[in-house]
């Protein structure tokens, strides 16, 4: 496979970065993962906006725009002969001296990873497992999609390599938080529930899109602090991320749900599929979550 590295399309085995990159040394880096459907980067504008906002917080002097990123992605797709793909768009601080730096980073390392990922119309179904390690709190005012993934790694080790299981974090105060690599939703009495951002979760792009979709479909959406008891009393439970889209949960521990037969879960999945090959930003459907 070919990847993008600092302005060049290179073979992945030939890619080299500096050992003094502060993304490697101190975790100063961000990434966005998203999918390309039939050559279209779904919700690209929203991913770029979140990336640019995070880079500003990390004092990394780099701003991306749609025109630049689309050209980069098209070159990468052409080099690999793909039209449907997984993308990880990674930006780290770049090289610096040993020690913590307060001055702006002006030469970040930009890497775009790609792999083939074909479209599928059916929905995944998994089991949920509540992990014992609590969700850590964000390093700053809000959780960034950053290189700081040790909490996720520990949780994944607890769950193991089973592909049909998603680990579910609780906060240190035992409120429902999010999945290891996903946001969490559940349906109860025709209302869609999801933990609020004040629990310390990532404000996922797909999370925001599902909230917008649900409200446009006339669903009531509630965001708050919820104990586990509220979750396990649900009729339907699903997780979301930009790669797996919507994943229905059949059960969590010994508590069973409708899984892929859930009416609201299936409705949202069908609506989601209608936009994947055309939508640049969720504002185009007329709604963004209030947070």
What does the pLDDT read at residue 285? 87
What does the pLDDT read at residue 256? 97
Enumerate residues 6+ apart whose C-beta is below 8 A from 49.
none
Q: Encoding tokens for residue 254?
A: 């010994």
Q: Encoding tokens for residue 291?
A: 């947070």
What does the pLDDT read at residue 287? 58
What does the pLDDT read at residue 290? 44
Asked if 212 and 206 touch (Cβ cutoff 8 Å), the reply is no
Q: In whole angstroms, how far apart are CA 113 and each of 17, 49, 77, 229, 244? A: 14, 19, 11, 40, 17
Q: How many CA atoms lie within 13 A of 1 on its CB side?
A: 15
What does the pLDDT read at residue 288? 55
Q: How many CA atoms lie within 13 A of 177 on its CB side?
A: 29
Q: Are strands 40-41 and 29-37 parallel, antiparallel or unpaired?
A: antiparallel
d(CA 287, CA 211): 9
8 beta partners? 5
What does the pLDDT read at residue 120? 85
**The overall pTM is greater than 0.85:** yes
Q: Encoding tokens for residue 88?
A: 């990880």
Domains defined for the chain, CATH in brackets? 2-116 (3.30.470.10), 124-283 (3.20.10.10)
pLDDT in tens, the chain (291 residues): 999 999 999 999 999 999 999 999 999 999 999 999 999 999 999 999 999 999 999 999 999 999 999 999 999 999 999 999 999 999 999 999 999 999 999 999 999 999 999 988 889 899 999 999 999 999 999 999 999 999 999 999 999 999 999 999 999 999 999 999 999 999 999 999 999 999 999 999 999 999 999 999 999 999 999 999 999 999 999 999 999 999 999 999 999 999 999 999 999 999 999 999 999 999 998 755 444
Q: State the sign of the Cα–Cα–Cα–Cα dihedral 214, 140, 95, 181.
A: negative
């Amino acid at each position: 496979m070919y990847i993008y590295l600092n302005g060049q399309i290179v073979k992945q085995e030939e890619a080299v970065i500096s050992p003094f990159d502060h993304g490697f040394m101190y975790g100063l880096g961000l990434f966005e993962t998203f999918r390309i459907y039939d050559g279209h980067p779904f919700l690209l504008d929203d991913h770029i906006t979140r990336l640019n906002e995070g880079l500003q917080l990390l004092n990394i002097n780099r701003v991306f725009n749609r025109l630049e990123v689309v050209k980069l992605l098209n070159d990468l797709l052409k080099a690999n002969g793909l039209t449907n793909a997984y993308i990880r768009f990674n930006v780290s601080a770049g090289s610096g001296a040993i020690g913590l730096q307060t001055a702006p980073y002006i030469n970040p390392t930009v890497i775009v990873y790609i792999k083939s990922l074909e479209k599928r119309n059916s929905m995944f179904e998994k089991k949920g497992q509540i992990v014992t390690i609590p969700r850590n709190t964000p390093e700053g005012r809000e959780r960034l999609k950053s290189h700081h993934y040790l909490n996720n790694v520990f949780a994944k080790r607890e769950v193991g390599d089973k592909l049909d299981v998603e680990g579910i974090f609780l906060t240190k105060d035992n409120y429902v938080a999010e999945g290891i690599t996903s946001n969490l939703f559940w349906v109860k009495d025709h209302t869609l529930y999801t933990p609020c951002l004040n629990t310390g979760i990532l404000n996922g792009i797909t999370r925001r899109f599902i909230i917008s979709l649900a409200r446009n479909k006339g669903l009531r959406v509630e965001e708050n602090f919820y104990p586990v008891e509220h979750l396990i009393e649900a009729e339907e439970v699903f997780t979301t991320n930009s790669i797996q889209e919507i994943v229905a949960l059949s059960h969590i521990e010994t508590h069973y749900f409708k899984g892929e037969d859930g009416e609201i879960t299936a409705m949202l999945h069908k609506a989601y599929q209608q936009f994947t090959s055309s939508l640049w930003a969720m504002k185009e459907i007329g709604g963004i979550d209030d947070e």
